[in-house]
Every structure is written in structure tokens, then in C-alpha cells.
């Protein structure tokens, strides 16, 4: 299996499109950091305007932890698109190129082909998130220093001690990895059905956009279906930045995502094993 | 001779189209087996079923005497193939492509050994060029190198001469003959180049609309008693007259040139007669009788007839 996964990773990282996601993330992180570097105090002033009369907050509020929190909030909405670019292409792209028939005609089981492609997609996803974490967190810590993390929620203002922040980011990173692998698994499933990459990428993004809209709209009818939307659970990485952390809720969401990954992957294997390769 | 490929009542139906219909054939070890049919006759579907890319609707396939579905990996380990056009990873080099194919077949070769495989098909000097810079002919050669990388006992080639120039076609022909005669490989080859098939195939299967029309040794398929022989001399008028006044007149066919329909064995006698008559012979050509035979069997002859009218 590792032999096949290495081949898949080699193919992924030889494709120029693979690096689009890394360049995009680097650009967004750099721009957000630049904006905070030049105008961070003004942003903080605007954010705190409503509570300024009740609180006096002193210290370095525009610090590395805070900047990375803003980056995470921005990026984790858009990263699914970047992940779909690779996950949606991984089988459909081969069908489009005509190389899928070469692959399936080799003495390797179809299940192993699918699993190796899925593992390599997961590794790509984790590498992308790690890149984002290194650039976003370490870069921001170097540029802005460290201090307590101030989080403004709809109903409260939360101040997390600087020594209590890093484990939360580590946990949120793990949860984000699970969320993004769920997105990858969905795009991967669509990829099994298609013979060009555009279809699965658009289909995966459409599902995520529609589900995210449903998750964020506060309408009673939508509220009833929200618990069943995996996109709703994907946002629960923020749960690690509550005090105390609602562990059962975060665990429930994590299990929900794992169940979706298992479902999408099992369906992919089932369909691919039955599929006639006509490309 | 052990049977390498054995299909029994093989059928494949796509929604409403019967692509392959009750096809049974067998390929003996060490032979070059030609697979003929028009476009859409079911050749590629059959080849895809032999390589487990498509699941048959009914029927069975045995390769190396074993059920294909039950012993898939073991069988594919001993098989190399090109399916239709040789699509490879265009963003990778020839060397990277062939290296991937070797690893997928479970074999690990040094870079030097991989380059030797590329040299075998005449693209060794482009080993480190990206495939997207290759011509169709070079891709075809790389496809053949990839098909042979695991030193397979059975080689399945779908239109291997597609996109090749005359030199390339001759190279592929020689390679197939070499692999068969010198290395004892079994080769299952589909092509629409009838004269090429006539030159390389020991046995042949002709299909049309998914059904088997004929299967036999090439020498038995092409009835030697009906060979068309075309003669070209320095003076065709005198030659024709000489033939009309001889025992050979019965074989003459009405035409502008000189064409006789006769048993292939009679050709030496005809040659001797022409020499005895002091006729300066430029050429004696048995016509491509496989083409005549193919057209007579398949629905292709209807199209030819339409153009002739």
C-alpha cells in the first residue's frame, strides 16, 4: 500500500496545479499579516468599539495568536476549494488523461488503488494545513509577538491566557484536519463518477456552499436539519476556543465527521470496484 | 501447445448496445494472434475485458488456464498491454513514466535498466524529456516500452502501429516478430492495418458487430486457391497475349493490367513460363488477399461497394 501511496504522492507533487493551493494560502496569510502590521490597531479599535465603554483592555492585543485566529477564520472557509482541486482530480483527472486504464490494467487491486489515492489525498490535505499553520502561526508569532488571545464572540468577550493558547491551536489543527479530510473524501467520491476534474470540483464545492449557507442561516426549518449537515460540524474547531471546552459537543462533531469520511470512502470503493473503465 | 487465452461465450451489453456477442476464441502459447474488426466492432471492449477494465455481462475468460476474476493479480503480473492510444502522464518524463509502470507491476529496476528499456524502442535519448513534448509516434513507442517493462509472457497490443511513420511501423512489426519468435511471447494484437497483420499474425480472429466471423490460422483463412496475382512487365501487351495463348489463359481476369486468379502454389510455374517466353518481368505481386477476405466477411464491403458505384 505504501508503494502505491508513494507513487500517488509523486504524481500529485509533480503537477503544477498542486502548488496553486500553497501559493494561495501563502498569499492570503501574507496579506492578512501585512494588513495587521500596517493597520492592526485601527482594526482592534473598530472591533472593540461596542465594548470600549464597559472594559479597559491593555497590552499587546494585536499579537501573533490573535492574527492567526483571524487567519484561521478566513481561511478555513476557503481551504475546501483548494483541497477539492486535488481531491476532485485524483481519479477523474486520470480518467480524462486516459491513464486510469493503465493503472487498472496493472496487477494491483482496485481497492488498493482507491485507498492509496485516498491516503495520498489525506497526506496532501495535512501538508496544506501544516503549511498554513507554520506560515500563519509561527509567522504571526515572529511578526507580532505573543500575548493573551482576545476572542470577541456574539455574546461574550473571551480572554485566553497566553500559556493556555498553544494546546488549543494544536487541537483545532487536528479538528480542522478531520474537517478538511471530510471535504477531500466528498470530492474524492465525486471524482470516482466523473471523467474530467471540473465536475467533481464544482460538485463538491456546490455541496459545501449550499450546506454552509444552510448552517449559517438562523431559520427554524434550517435549524432542524443543521445537526445532520457535516459542514455545520466542520465549524466546531472553534469549540477549542471556549472556556470551558464543551468536550462532548466537540467529540460528537468529530465522530460525525469520521462517520462521513467512512461513508464517502466506502461508497468510493464500492463504486470503483464495480465501474467499467471506458475512458 | 498450452492455451494462453480462452474465452467462452463472452458478451458485453452497454445499456442497449451489444458490444460483444457470444465471443469464444482461444490463443495458443507463443503465437501472434491477430484481432481484426472495423471501428466499433467490439475489439477494444474485448481487450478491456481481458484486462479486467470491463466486467463481462456473461461468459468467462481464462488466461494461463486460470479464471481471470479469481486470479486477476497473478495473471496481470504476467501480462503487458497497450489499450487504444498510449496515454501516459504528460507532465512526467519518459523515465518517470516507465519507472511508475515498473513499480506498479511490482518490479524495481535501476535507472540504467529503465533507460535500456527505452533504448529498446528507440527513445533512450529522450528519457528525461517530458512526455508532453513527444510526438504521437514517440508516445506509442513509450507505451510499448511500458507494456514490456515486466517482461510479460502475454502481450496485448491494441492498434500498436497507430500514429507511427513507415519506419516506426516496420520497427513495431520487427519487434513483435522478435518477441514472438526469439523470446517465445504470446502476442494478441488488434490492428486495422491488414497487410501488417498478414505479415505478423499466425492466427486470426475477425469480428463484426461484436460477433465472431472467422477464427483460424492465417494460411488457412486465406484460401490459397483464390490468390490474386498481379504481373508487371516491360511490355504488358505482349505478356497478356502470351498468357492468353497459353495454359494460363484460364486464370486471367479482365482488367487493364494483368491479373490472374490462381492457386498460390502455381506462382513459381507462372514465373518459369514468363522467363521461358523471354518476358522482362518487373514484378509479380500476390494481392493483399486478407483485405479481400476481410471485406468479403464484414459489413465493410457494403461501404466499399457504395463508393465503387
Q: Is residue A111's pLDDT more than 90? A: yes
Q: Is residue B300's pLDDT more than 70? A: no
Q: For chain B, where do the domains classified as CATH 3.30.70 start and end?
A: 224-290
- Residue contacts between A and B (CB atoms, under 8 Å): 73
CA of B82: which chain A residue's CA is closest?
A: A102
**Cross-chain CB nearest to A98 (options B87, B103, B106):** B87
**Contact predicate A233/A256, CB 8 Å:** yes
Q: Chain A, 101-130: which have a CB under 8 Å from a chain B CB?
A: 101-109
Range B109-127 average pLDDT = 89
Higher pLDDT, B31 or B165: B31
| C-beta atoms of B54 and A7 within 8 A | no
CA of A108: which chain B residue's CA is closest?
A: B73
- Beta-ladder partners of B61: B7
What pLDDT is attached to residue B298?
A: 66
CA of A276: which chain B residue's CA is closest?
A: B54
pLDDT band at B308 (very low <50, low <70, confident <90, very high): very low
Q: For chain B, where do the domains classified as CATH 3.40.50.300 start and end?
A: 3-219
Kindly list the residues from chain B whose CB atom is less than 8 angstroms away from the CB atom of residue A195.
none
Tell whether A2 lies on the interface with B, counting CB pairs under 8 A.
Answer: no
Residue where the block lists cell 515572529: A142
What pLDDT is attached to residue A124?
A: 93
pLDDT band at B165 (very low <50, low <70, confident <90, very high): confident
Count of residues making up chain A: 279
Q: B7 vs chain A: nearest CA distance in angstroms?
A: 18
Q: Compute the mean pLDDT over every residue in chain B, rounded to the nearest whole number.
A: 86
Q: How many distinct structural domains can be found in chain A?
A: 1
pLDDT band at B183 (very low <50, low <70, confident <90, very high): confident
| C-beta atoms of A99 and B89 within 8 A | yes
pLDDT digits (tens, 9 = 90+) for B222-257: 776 777 788 999 999 999 999 999 999 988 887 778
Taking the CB of residue A13, how many other CB atoms lie within 10 A of it? 13
Give the C-alpha separation, B50 to B63, whole Å: 8
CA dihedral of B167, B168, B171, B173, whole degrees rounded to 10: -110
What pLDDT is attached to residue B304?
A: 46
Residue A279 lies in a domain: no
pLDDT digits (tens, 9 = 90+) for A161-190: 888 889 999 999 999 999 999 999 999 999
**Mutation site for A-interface testing, chosen from B56, B86, B103, B159 by largest number of A Cβ within 10 Å:** B103
**Percentage of chain A modeled with pLDDT above 90:** 42
Containing structural domain, residue A28:
2-274
Range B78-101 average pLDDT = 90
Cell output for A98:
486516459
Q: B136 vs chain A: nearest CA distance in angstroms?
A: 14
Q: Is residue B93's pLDDT more than 60? A: yes
pLDDT digits (tens, 9 = 90+) for A51-78: 666 667 777 778 889 999 988 887 777 8
Kindly list the residues from chain A whose CB atom is less than 8 angstroms away from the CB atom of residue B104.
4, 7, 103, 106-108
What kind of architecture, by CATH, is found in domain B3-219? 3-Layer(aba) Sandwich (3.40)
Residue A114 lies in a domain: yes
**Mutation site for B-interface testing, chosen from A106, A110, A120, A196 by largest number of B Cβ within 10 Å:** A106
Tell whether B17 lies on the interface with A, counting CB pairs under 8 A.
Answer: no
- Model confidence, pTM: 0.83
CA of A94: which chain B residue's CA is closest?
A: B89
**Top-level class of domain B224-290:** alpha beta
Q: Chain B, 85-114: which have a CB under 8 Å from a chain A CB?
A: 85, 87-92, 96, 100-101, 103-106
Higher pLDDT, A266 or A241: A266
Tell whether A276 lies on the interface with B, counting CB pairs under 8 A.
Answer: yes
If DSSP states are collapsed to H, E and C, what string results for chain B? CCEEEEEEEEEEEECCEEEEEEEEEEEECCCEEEEECCCCCCHHHHHHHHCCCCCCCEEEEEECCEECCCCHHHHHHCEEEECCCCCCCCCCEHHHHHHHHHHHCCCCCCHHHHHHHHHHCCCHHHCCCEHHHCCHHHHHHHHHHHHHCCCCCEEEEECCCCCCCHHHHHHHHHHHHHHHHCCCCEEEEECCCHHHHHHHCCEEEEEECCEEEEEEEHHHHCCHHHEEEEEEECCHHHHHHHHHCCHHHHHEECCCCEEEEECHHHHHHHHHHHHHCCCCEEEEEECCHHHHHHHHHCCHHHHHHHHHC
Q: Which helix (H) or strand (E) holds B22?
A: strand B17-28
| C-beta atoms of B53 and A277 within 8 A | yes
Q: With left for phi above 0 and alpha for psi between -120 and 50, is residue B83 left, alpha or beta?
A: beta
Residue A207 lies in a domain: yes
- Give ∠ CA B28-B30-B36 in degrees, rounded to 5: 65
End-to-end CA distance of chain B: 47
Q: Chain A, 7-36: which have a CB under 8 Å from a chain B CB?
A: 7, 10-11, 14-16
Give the C-alpha separation, B215 to B204, whole Å: 6
Give the C-alpha separation, A229 to A111, whole Å: 28
Q: With left for phi above 0 and alpha for psi between -120 and 50, is residue A264 left, alpha or beta?
A: alpha
> Does the interface ipTM go beyond 0.90?
no
**Contact predicate A71/A97, CB 8 Å:** no
**Cross-chain CB nearest to A3 (options B81, B91, B103):** B103
Residue A73 lies in a domain: yes
| C-beta atoms of A14 and B96 within 8 A | yes
Q: Is residue A210's pLDDT more than 80? A: yes
Range A15-25 average pLDDT = 88
Sign of CA dihedral A264, A270, A272, A275: negative
What pLDDT is attached to residue B68?
A: 92
Q: Is residue B302's pLDDT more than 80? A: no
Amino acid at each position: 500500500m505504501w508503494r502505491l501511496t508513494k507513487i500517488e504522492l509523486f504524481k500529485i507533487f509533480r503537477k503544477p496545479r498542486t502548488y496553486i493551493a500553497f501559493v494561495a494560502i501563502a498569499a492570503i496569510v501574507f496579506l492578512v499579516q501585512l494588513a495587521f502590521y500596517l493597520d492592526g490597531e485601527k482594526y482592534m479599535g473598530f472591533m472593540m468599539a461596542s465594548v470600549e465603554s464597559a472594559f479597559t483592555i491593555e497590552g499587546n492585543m494585536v499579537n501573533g495568536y490573535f492574527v492567526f485566529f483571524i487567519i484561521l477564520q478566513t481561511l478555513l472557509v476557503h481551504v475546501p476549494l483548494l483541497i477539492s482541486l486535488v481531491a476532485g482530480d485524483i481519479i477523474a483527472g486520470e480518467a480524462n488523461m486516459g491513464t486510469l486504464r493503465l493503472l487498472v490494467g496493472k496487477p494491483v487491486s482496485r481497492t488498493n488503488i482507491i485507498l492509496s489515492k485516498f491516503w495520498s489525498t489525506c497526506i496532501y490535505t495535512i501538508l496544506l494545513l501544516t503549511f498554513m499553520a507554520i506560515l500563519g502561526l509561527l509567522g504571526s508569532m515572529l511578526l507580532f509577538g505573543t500575548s493573551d488571545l482576545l476572542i470577541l464572540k456574539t455574546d461574550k468577550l473571551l480572554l485566553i491566557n497566553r500559556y493556555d493558547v498553544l494546546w488549543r491551536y494544536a487541537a483545532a489543527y487536528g479538528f480542522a484536519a478531520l474537517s478538511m479530510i471530510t471535504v477531500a473524501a466528498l470530492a474524492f467520491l465525486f471524482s470516482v463518477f466523473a471523467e474530467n476534474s471540473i465536475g467533481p470540483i464544482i460538485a463538491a464545492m456546490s455541496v459545501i456552499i449550499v450546506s454552509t449557507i444552510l448552517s449559517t442561516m438562523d431559520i427554524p426549518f434550517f435549524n432542524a436539519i443543521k445537526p445532520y449537515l457535516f459542514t455545520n460540524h466542520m465549524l466546531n474547531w472553534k469549540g477549542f476556543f471556549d472556556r470551558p471546552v464543551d468536550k462532548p459537543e466537540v467529540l460528537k462533531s468529530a465522530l460525525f465527521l469520521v462517520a462521513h469520511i467512512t461513508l464517502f470512502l466506502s461508497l468510493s470503493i464500492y463504486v470503483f470496484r464495480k465501474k467499467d473503465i471506458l475512458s | 501447445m498450452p492455451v494462453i487465452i480462452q474465452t467462452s461465450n463472452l458478451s458485453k451489453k452497454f445499456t442497449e448496445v451489444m458490444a460483444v456477442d457470444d465471443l469464444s476464441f482461444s490463443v495458443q502459447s507463443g503465437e501472434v494472434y491477430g484481432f481484426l474488426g472495423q471501428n466499433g466492432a467490439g475489439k477494444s471492449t474485448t481487450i478491456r475485458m481481458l484486462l479486467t477494465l470491463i466486467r463481462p455481462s456473461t461468459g468467462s475468460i481464462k488466461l494461463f488456464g486460470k479464471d481471470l476474476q479469481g486470479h486477476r493479480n497473478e495473471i496481470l503480473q504476467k501480462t503487458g498491454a497497450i489499450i487504444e492510444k498510449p496515454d501516459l502522464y504528460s507532465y512526467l518524463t519518459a523515465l518517470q513514466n516507465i519507472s511508475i509502470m515498473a513499480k506498479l507491476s511490482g518490479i524495481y529496476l535501476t535507472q540504467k535498466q529503465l533507460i535500456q528499456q527505452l533504448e529498446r524502442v528507440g527513445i533512450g535519448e529522450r528519457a528525461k524529456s517530458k512526455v508532453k513534448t513527444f510526438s504521437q509516434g514517440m508516445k506509442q513507442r513509450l507505451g510499448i516500452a511500458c507494456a514490456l517493462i515486466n517482461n510479460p509472457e502475454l502481450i496485448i497490443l491494441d492498434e500498436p502501429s497507430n500514429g507511427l511513420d513507415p519506419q516506426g511501423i516496420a520497427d513495431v512489426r520487427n519487434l513483435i516478430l522478435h518477441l514472438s519468435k526469439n523470446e517465445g511471447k504470446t502476442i494478441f494484437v488488434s490492428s486495422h492495418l491488414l497487410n501488417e497483420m498478414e505479415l505478423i499474425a499466425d492466427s486470426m480472429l475477425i469480428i463484426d458487430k461484436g460477433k465472431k466471423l472467422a477464427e483460424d490460422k492465417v494460411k488457412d483463412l486465406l484460401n490459397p486457391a483464390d490468390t490474386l496475382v498481379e504481373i508487371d512487365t516491360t511490355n504488358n501487351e505482349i505478356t497478356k497475349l502470351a498468357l492468353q495463348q497459353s495454359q494460363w489463359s484460364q486464370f486471367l481476369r479482365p482488367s487493364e493490367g494483368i491479373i490472374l486468379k490462381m492457386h498460390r502454389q502455381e506462382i513459381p510455374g507462372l514465373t518459369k513460363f514468363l522467363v521461358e517466353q523471354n518476358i522482362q518481368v518487373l514484378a509479380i505481386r500476390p494481392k493483399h488477399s486478407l483485405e479481400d477476405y476481410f471485406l468479403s466477411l464484414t459489413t465493410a464491403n457494403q461501404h466499399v461497394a457504395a463508393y465503387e458505384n
